A and B are shown apart, each in its own frame.
Chain A
């Protein structure tokens, strides 16, 4: 009995020795391979539902790691990501990631393709006046000055000069790392003609279907991923989202974009007059425009629409932008509208033609009796849209299935060729593509574009009956940097990060080639784009140099040459431990056996 206990204890000691020696050897190995201490740590925020953001994060972690940046990836679901970017970060302080904000975040921003200077306000310290939506905490007074000058003059040459300087300054300061202008793939049946991706059904009255005549009953089916969110355009939340096609074919703006050149074109107006001092504008309305219920549109409808948006009680998305410029709206007679401004605003026409269609003209005779604060919850916003002025009339919305429209015979630009337009709701991109291939739908919404990018080549080869095209999309992908972050508030650090970003890999491998390397927040299709602004390229040496300028020590730190190789001494105790342990084990076992 006693001998057993002794053997057990001895055996335990033997195996303990073996274990300790193994562990120590592993530790030694990691010690000898450990990287030098990184220069600083940043946190990369990404949406777990967005694979592109995650993949770019993984790539940046590797690449920025080469210049000594420890990039920590933190993924959350959509709601948390949004609350970190928009929810808590009010102007003028921007919490870092650890304080509930963000350090680094990959973001895209949509632009109006023409006069987009107004929207650049969010990249200045002031933000978009007067509310100060300054998203990325850029405190660069010189860039702000350029932009302010550009935004206050009517002289196009001067505007161009200032906006060019602004872009050069932005690229010098790198308040955010501009990556690329995306392209979108769009998928239609080959017989659909005149479809323009960027207009999102706005030009539906111009579409034709090959092989059909005016007499045929033409139905076009359009696949979208989600039901429409809000039916009144004044509550739309912007961008190129699913509800937009509804607004686009039901309603009209006073001004809107021309299809090819994206210049501003009068829509519901004949012409406009701007006062000498730039403080007011007269619009002369067309007198041949009728709502879908047959009631003619007058200045009262225009005034009602703008009054509703300008009333904060309504809670319109566009309140902030419009109230910054427009003081009041006047309707002296049936076809004249006068806008009074708070300040001269060269962007006024752009403001009247937002891409989200917020200030589309709504019928006063239908909505006029509803108090402004109840517009959001009234049935015209949730169940059935009010009569509009657009080329299509609303027929039916079967929730979760489809929204149906029919041609407006009295459309003021002429009856559309298409008789019936159906927006089919298909949540899955692959399903939508299968439906297109099987002929169940005719057009896919741009929202499916990225998910279907891998299918483009196959479709081009195998399906001549399907039209696949790539078109530049008025947006910019950029890496937003929190300029308030104690490390990132140094210009040279931001420049270093811009040099250490592998643009080609991001564009070709992660964006599937559906993008073009960018040098500016402004899309290259705009008049305001400066082709001479600096293009950052991937260059680690320059990045390291920038970090040295920022006052950081050399990285990776130079290896002291005389240090003896650590393998010898570290291996000996390990081996010794091993052999010792094994010998002890054998001896013990022998003793044990002999005693028996």
Chain B
């Protein structure tokens, strides 16, 4: 099977395919429509796409073979009429699907899927998206009222890590709401954000687990106890059920959104730094990828082949992915540029320069 990359963009879902060493880009599926996430299921060959129609709401589609079919979208349970719920910042928290922000396979059953959304709800499908069940235990977290919007008006689940050794063990990254972990398939959850630090809160609440903004989580598949976190104000790493440790290795910046973990080597991870918070552009106009090869003690700056002047590309949460070989990376930016990184990111090649803003890149095989 040729190697393929899904590219979810503001104007459709593109597929990049490698044949005999040459890469070719498809015409977009759902041309003109914002696609927030794509997901391929090798168990039955299905391809999923999450659409954000704006005017017409969020929709899910599945392709098995050549034809796309629309699936029912997850639906939130409603509050009693007239009751208003508010997120941690005091803004209204309507229970209406705003975005599918993450979509992952659940290996416990064929067609099993986890779906993380804005405004903060987790959904599960046991039938390839034909129906969705709202995960009520997570929603009933008594501290959910402290969650707040991170990048959007309301909270959202952007990272779903399923432990390949035990699919009952699932870890969620919530902006802003911490890191929620279940070890019984979603019946019970615990916020395991201890050690993360929120510089954007009053000092007394800086270590409150419920206000943390992990921008993205990534786990090493071969050693899933090792989890990396690109947080709003730093990079953190965690082993098993221990508290998170802040990575303070010297770097051009430790602000960013994306991170990727090596599939086999627990000490290797990649990040895409940007000038912090109020600017969100590459430092000095030069795009850099950071790689640690020693568990976060040091970073190597990877620049070869990346624009080193006049670059204003931001790489979003899902804009960086590493292939199963642990050596080939893909990266897409808000400026619609797509790069392929070889040798673990030592050498980058621009594959496209004029795509729509890229929300997610994802290796299929």
Same assembly: no
